[in-house]
């Protein structure tokens, strides 16, 4: 009887370990470093919070031909903005630059603080004040 109880306990413990080992963990934050950030990104969300309003900037203000662009951050701190899908103008895209200073990032002259990065999703937040009104912009990029 004692052998059966031990086997039962071991079987239950093994089953519990098996099920918890297969459980998907939440994506953890990754340090924002040049090595981790280099790659291609698509803008998936852009929002602005102004006073009490939360505005969808991507769907409301970004042209259709810009919504599918790909932002490539290269190891030499050059950036390529590739005009993918629906073309804007000549459809060639252009080359620019990017900088990283701690959690502060500047891509093609647009800068902000890295709010989060998990290796797949990059969230950048920027704030500005004009005529006494402060707006907070949040940009979410998916790594390709």
Nearest to 74 by CA among 92, 95, 91, 104: 95
Q: How far apart are CA 97 and CA 41, in angstroms?
A: 15
The per-residue pLDDT for range 42-86, each reduced to its tens digit, is 999 999 999 999 999 999 999 999 999 999 999 999 999 999 989
How many structural domains are present in the chain?
1
Residue 28 belongs to some domain of the structure: no
Residue 44 belongs to some domain of the structure: yes
CATH number of the domain that residue 120 is part of: 2.40.128.20
Across the strands, what pairs with 104? 101, 113
Q: Give the residue numbers spanning the domain of 70.
A: 34-143
- Torsion angle (degrees, nearest 10) of CA 45, 48, 49, 54: -60
The per-residue pLDDT for range 101-128, each reduced to its tens digit, is 999 999 999 999 999 999 999 999 999 9
């Amino acid at each position: 009887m004692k052998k059966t109880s031990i086997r039962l306990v071991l079987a239950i413990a093994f089953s519990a370990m098996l099920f918890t080992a297969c459980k998907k963990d939440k994506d953890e934050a990754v340090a924002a470093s040049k090595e981790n950030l280099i790659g291609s990104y698509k803008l998936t969300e852009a929002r602005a919070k102004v006073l009490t309003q939360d505005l969808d900037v991507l769907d409301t203000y970004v042209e259709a031909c810009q919504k599918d662009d790909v932002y490539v951050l290269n190891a030499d701190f050059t950036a390529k903005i590739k005009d993918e899908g629906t073309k804007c103008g000549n459809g060639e895209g252009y080359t620019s630059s990017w900088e990283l200073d701690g959690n502060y990032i500047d891509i093609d002259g647009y800068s902000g603080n890295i709010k989060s990065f998990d290796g797949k999703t990059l969230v950048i937040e920027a704030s500005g004040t004009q005529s006494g009104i402060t707006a907070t912009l949040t940009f979410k990029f998916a790594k390709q």
